[in-house]
Structure 1
Amino acid sequence: MRKINILTIDDDFINLKLLEAMLKSHESVGEIIKATNGLDGLNIIDQRDDIDLVLLDIVMPVMNGLEFLDNLKARKNAFSKPVIVITTDEAVKREAFNKGANDFLTKPILKKVLLEKIDKLIVDFE
């Protein structure tokens, strides 16, 4: 089975480390790439074609998650991999889906729920 590479985008260092720890426990996760805002995330996606999944925080400086989704959709080489939005704000959920998000996680993130969502998406990679 092929391992998937996951881009995590969050301005909070502790959240990035927590996500990394949770993801490392999943046998199908390969590389975990970290970005601290949406603009950094877009730059990574532009430089790499091996990103299989994005975990995206909404509230960030420089470029927030909703702006990231807008910019992602507007790109010529449209990124077609799943994006899971992570936030404390339930009201953002509909807007994120309208902008192309595939799924939603509410903070605080439960490891079991995160890994279940990844399992559901991994079927597409096999």
Structure 2
Amino acid sequence: MKILFIEDDAIETMKLTRTLSKLEEKHTLIQANNGEEALKILNETNLPDIILLDLNMPRMNGIEFLQILKKDPLLKYLPTVILTTSENRTDLLECYKTGIAGYVIKPLKYEDYEDKLIKVISYWQVNELVKG
């Protein structure tokens, strides 16, 4: 699977890379530091199978990115899973209203993070994905 990871925190990127390295299947990880960078990547490369998106980022936050993504006739079908520390119900509702595929709260303990992310990746591996 080709995964676009939109996250500005290097430690979070290291955690995801480490988690992916433990899986049997090898995945391609493309990293963007913010929504603007992610939109540029989406317009210049082959589309990812899934997007993992943080909400709290500089320049363009996750919700702003989502609103642009879901208005694009080609990009709007990309499954987008929010991966955030925000337990704010307003954020949660706004994301689902905009059309996300899931909302995952990042746990503090690495073992819990790894467990959650392996489940998310495993689900999307068996799910039928829209191929660009």
Q: What is residue 95 of structure 2 aligned with on the other side?
A: 96
Q: How far apart in 2 are the matches of 1:29 and 1:101?
A: 24
Greater per-residue strand proportion = 1
Q: How far apart in 2 are the matches of 1:85 and 1:117?
A: 11
Contact conserved, 1:5 with 1:29, CA < 8 A, in 2? Answer: no
Give the percent of matched residue pairs that are identical in Structure 1 and Structure 2. Answer: 33
Matched, 1:112 2:115: yes
1:46–1:111 CA distance, 2 compared to 1 (3 A): same
Contact conserved, 1:9 with 1:16, CA < 8 A, in 2? Answer: no
Q: How far apart in 2 are the matches of 1:102 and 1:24?
A: 24
Q: What is residue 79 of structure 2 aligned with on the other side?
A: 82
1:38-83 alpha-carbon deviations (Å, 9 max, x no partner): 1111111111224111110000001100001001011232341211
Q: How far apart in 1 are the matches of 2:20 and 2:100?
A: 19
TM-score normalized by the length of structure 1: 0.88
Contact conserved, 1:6 with 1:29, CA < 8 A, in 2? Answer: no
- The one of 23, 42, 47 aligned to 1:45: 42
1:26–1:56 CA distance, 2 compared to 1 (3 A): same
1:66–1:6 CA distance, 2 compared to 1 (3 A): same
Give how far 1:28 is off. Answer: 2.8
Give how far 1:125 is off. Answer: 4.3
Paired letter, 1:120: Y
Structure 2 unaligned regions, length at least 5: none
Give how far 1:94 is off. Answer: 1.6
Aligned residues: 123
TM-score normalized by the length of structure 2: 0.84
Matched position secondary structure for 1:113: helix
Q: How far apart in 2 are the matches of 1:50 and 1:29?
A: 17
Contact conserved, 2:20 with 2:27, CA < 8 A, in 1? Answer: no
Q: How far apart in 1 are the matches of 2:100 and 2:118?
A: 17
Paired letter, 1:106: I
Q: How far apart in 1 are the matches of 2:46 and 2:24?
A: 21
Structure 1 unaligned regions, length at least 5: none
Q: How far apart in 1 are the matches of 2:76 and 2:26?
A: 19
